[in-house]
Amino acid sequence: MRWRDIRFEKPTEADSDEDGAVLMLHRDGKVGSYGFGNTYKTIAWMPLSELPAFTPIPDPPDGWRLVDQTKDVDDGRAMTLAADDNTWITRGFSGREWCEGNTYIIPIDPPEPQYRPFANAAEFEPYENRFWRYKDDIPTVRRSPQFYSDDGHFSDGWDYCFSRKQFGDGSPFGIQIK
């Protein structure tokens, strides 16, 4: 792939493709495919036949997705596309800006588990001996298990408990939705 300076070499019909076009680089930095005789504002050109063959980006492996460089943050797990053999390789560093023009993939994180309040005493029974704390308690607070019924935990209803309490390990005071 070699640009030709328009001052020294002009494109001819022999340089153009079947539509009569060549690739032209304009003074404003724009590149486009134009008719070989349309050289206004052109500083360089090349025959379209000299462009390298387009190699499509391979699909990411299972469990990975392409990076959206406007939204995703590099947390050190990204891989980039190796230009020489079109395979995915480890990027090797994190916390840097994405390099414009490069293609990256990152692992798809599993969805966060969803919870709901306990519905009754029977649902809470497997958790009855776990320590708990209020969400605004310091993390080292561990409250002992207390009385519970179909109406709630101690004197609090199940919905209130779900919104204000958590188990000692920080997990929600509710049951995981499967």
Q: Model confidence over 6-53: pLDDT tens digits?
A: 888 888 888 888 888 888 888 887 888 778 777 778 888 888 888 777
Which pLDDT belongs to residue 151? 94
The residues of the chain scoring below 50 in pLDDT are none
Which pLDDT belongs to residue 169? 92
Could you tell me how many residues make up the chain? Answer: 178
User: Domain ranges in the chain?
Assistant: 4-50, 55-110, 114-177
Rg (CA), the chain: 31
Q: Return the beta strands (E) in the chain as ranges.
A: 4-5, 21-26, 31-35, 42-46, 64-66, 79-81, 88-90, 104-107, 114-116, 132-134, 148-149, 152-153, 156-157, 165-167, 175-177
Tokens 């990152």 found at:
106
Strand, coil or helix: what is 132? strand
pTM: 0.49
CA-angle at 29, arms to 28 and 32, nearest 5°: 105
Tell me the C-alpha distance between 41 and 26, whole Å: 5
Give the ranges where the chain is alpha helix by DSSP (H).
Answer: 121-124, 158-164
- For 55, residues 6+ apart whose C-beta sits below 8 A from its C-beta are 86
